[in-house]
Structure 1
Amino acid sequence: MPLIEHIYELRTRLLISVAAIVVTLGFGFYWYGTGFFGVPSLGGILTGPYCDIPPGARLQLGDAGDECRLLATGPFEQFMLRLKVAATAGIVLASPVWLYQLWAFITPGLHKNEKRYGIVFTILAAVLFIGGAVLAYVVIVHALEFLLSIGDNVQTTALSGSQYFAFLIQLILIFGVSFEIPLLIAMLNVAGVVSYEALARSRRGIIMGIFVFAAVASPGQDPFSMLALAVAVCILVEAAIQFTRLHDKRKKKSREDWLEVDDESASPLAPADGLGGSGPLERPQPLTRPTPSAGAGAGVSATRAPGDTRPLQAPAGGGSIYDDIT
């Protein structure tokens, strides 16, 4: 297609994606305060880790039967917080739609094997991100309990809704994105950029870098979230390294030996079947001419001496000097 048609197609797919996000945003705005079909409200799900903290580690607000509440310090804070959470939920819920639109836009430019790898990597990326988000949701209870109870004998923490949800969303995003690192390693190996040998030599440095990254990236700087992130990513990276080992071994079996030779070296040449190896060349024998038949006339000598550069004389009987030379 010409460039203008590609732009029209991109515009159409973007409009479809935005429309899907708007619809799911409205659903998330409603779901924030209301549950349905036995599913608790989105606000209740997100505040679950905070409510699981012992009451002595957080400020108790409201009536005795409903003490787990977050603070709102501004007139529009509750509305804006609900809108932000609904927008985040809308993007997540509409991800099948906008991911399909993105995939449908780039698929015509891919080869068959690239499409196959793209589908596998897209599914794995979604699964890994969800796994990281679930782990972050489980870890945040212990992280908040540590952070809010470390000085509970002196003060009590009263979190506002924006502070709590900012911490929760940051932790979920960091865990989800970090879980994509093993997939990136596998993709680089499939593309031929990173080999198993290089990863195996750098395994200790990779583990050290993961722990440093977990210590810096964790928003709460608590030991529970740091250790959980570092250990989980190390396990996934080791699984990715083992995948590269199997992939390189399979690729090496199906690859010719001469393809592994670098550009500045000569590949070994095996002798052809039935011909044997190469050997020294023998000195060529001089050309001979058969003796002219009777009646053909006198001709030149039948044998050219070595080093004789004089031209051959035509036979007396006519014809070419190359006739009947064997």
Structure 2
Amino acid sequence: MAEGKRRRFAWLRPPEAGPGGTMSLGDHLRELRYRLIVSAVAIIVTSLLAAIWYDQLYQVMLRPYLLAVQMLAESNPNLDPTTVITGVATPLILAMKVCVVAGIVLSSPVWVYQIWAFIVPALLAKEKRYALGFIGAAVPLFLLGVLIGYYIMPQGISVLLAFTPSSVPVTNLVDVEDFLTLTLQLMVVFGLGFLIPVLVVGLNLVGVLKADQLKKVRTYVVFGIFVFGAAATPSTDPFSMLALAIPMTVLYLIAEVICRVHDRRKAKADLVVAGT
């Protein structure tokens, strides 16, 4: 009876890895499917919960625009920006976007763990400690990136709207859908960008990446970070790009130092074991 129940609910569990964490291609695909389903369910559930407080979330998401208007009122009082909503279905689409992004943020501990579990399918006792450290560092950094993306938005908006000619009376009609989409994209991009250095450290802890490899590609990585910052930030102002690229570069350099310290400790521990 118990064996039959285990077989019946086997699809609810990820495939078991073989010795040393090896898996066939089919098992890897089933593992990926499992991790994606768990992450999607967590995001859907938290998105539905976030819908309960949609009015409060909407006010929070519109705050960067209100702050930008205050900045513009001081620097360029002739501008007259006004928010508009166009289309019958737009309010529903806005609600769905805001709630889904809120769900992504709230469920970050779940899907961040699923990323780690997919990278390291067979967690040894030591690697389980690494997994806890990975989650403990990744989730706060993701949330920090989201907050930075949120707080730089007023500056980005004011920079972009400041290009409106002040010599001609004009009313800036800011589409709420476009504005909120831009804000949500910026927050998610910043959050994911801040996860990359943590992922680098995690791969080093399980022996996939070495500090010497990171040192060799450092210049290319830093260049790639600035290219990523320019391409990934939805707004066109350089301030947003630098706000993403500079912290990512600093975090990458910190990650490289952590990896180097870990490699040295591991090398000394291997020498001690070899000596005994």
Measured against the shorter chain, the TM-score band is 0.7 to 0.9
Structure 2 CA distance for partners of 1:179 and 1:3, relative to 1, 3 Å: farther
Q: Who is 2:9 aligned against?
A: 5
Preserved CA contact (<8 Å) 2:112 2:139? no
Structure 2 CA distance for partners of 1:114 and 1:212, relative to 1, 3 Å: same
Deviation at 1:114, TM superposition (A): 2.2
Q: Which amino acid aligns with 2:219?
A: R
> Which consecutive unaligned segments of at least 5 residues does structure 1 have?
34-40, 62-69, 260-269, 271-326
| CA distances 1:299-318 after superposition (whole Å, capped 9, x unpaired) | xxxxxxxxxxxxxxxxxxxx
| SS of equivalent to 1:158 | strand
Deviation at 1:241, TM superposition (A): 0.8
In the TM superposition, 1:87-98 aligns within 5 A as 87-95=100-108
| CA distances 1:281-323 after superposition (whole Å, capped 9, x unpaired) | xxxxxxxxxxxxxxxxxxxxxxxxxxxxxxxxxxxxxxxxxxx
| SS of equivalent to 1:116 | helix
Deviation at 1:13, TM superposition (A): 11
For this pair of structures, how many residues does the alignment match?
Answer: 245
| CA distances 1:111-133 after superposition (whole Å, capped 9, x unpaired) | 21222111211221111110101
Q: Who is 1:160 aligned against?
A: 175
Asked which structure has the greater CA Rg, the reply is 1
Please tell me whether residue 180 in structure 1 is matched to residue 195 in structure 2.
Answer: yes
Tell me how far apart the structure 1 counterparts of residues 139 and 61 of structure 2 sit (CA, whole Å).
21
Q: Which amino acid aligns with 1:30?
A: I
Output the aligned Cα RMSD. 3.7
Preserved CA contact (<8 Å) 1:218 1:225? yes
Q: Who is 1:214 aligned against?
A: 229
Tell me how far apart the structure 2 counterparts of residues 230 and 147 of structure 1 sit (CA, whole Å).
20
Q: Who is 2:220 aligned against?
A: 205
Tell me how far apart the structure 1 counterparts of residues 37 and 216 of structure 2 sit (CA, whole Å).
48
In the TM superposition, 1:47-196 aligns within 5 A as 47-53=62-68, 54-55=72-73, 56=77, 59-61=80-82, 70-95=83-108, 110-153=123-166, 154=168, 155-196=170-211
Structure 2 CA distance for partners of 1:28 and 1:227, relative to 1, 3 Å: same
Please tell me whether residue 31 in structure 1 is matched to residue 46 in structure 2.
Answer: no
* TM-score of the two chains, using structure 2 as the length reference: 0.74
Q: Which amino acid aligns with 2:130?
A: Y
Structure 2 CA distance for partners of 1:57 and 1:218, relative to 1, 3 Å: farther
| SS of equivalent to 1:52 | helix
Tell me how far apart the structure 1 counterparts of residues 197 and 114 of structure 2 sit (CA, whole Å).
26
Q: Who is 1:236 aligned against?
A: 251
Kindly indicate which of the two structures has a greater share of residues assigned to helix: 2
Tell me how far apart the structure 2 counterparts of residues 13 and 234 of structure 1 sit (CA, whole Å).
29
Tell me how far apart the structure 2 counterparts of residues 159 and 143 of structure 1 sit (CA, whole Å).
14
Tell me how far apart the structure 2 counterparts of residues 204 and 143 of structure 1 sit (CA, whole Å).
28
| CA distances 1:96-125 after superposition (whole Å, capped 9, x unpaired) | 567789999999953212221112112211
Deviation at 1:29, TM superposition (A): 2.6
Preserved CA contact (<8 Å) 2:201 2:255? yes
Structure 2 CA distance for partners of 1:14 and 1:160, relative to 1, 3 Å: same
Tell me how far apart the structure 2 counterparts of residues 105 and 230 of structure 1 sit (CA, whole Å).
27
| SS of equivalent to 1:47 | helix
| SS of equivalent to 2:152 | helix
Q: Which amino acid aligns with 1:128?
A: L
In the TM superposition, 1:173-322 aligns within 5 A as 173-256=188-271
The share of aligned pairs that are identical, in percent, is: 36
Query: Relative contact order, CA 8 A, sep 6+: which one is greater?
Result: 2
Structure 2 CA distance for partners of 1:207 and 1:157, relative to 1, 3 Å: same
Tell me how far apart the structure 2 counterparts of residues 5 and 106 of structure 1 sit (CA, whole Å).
24
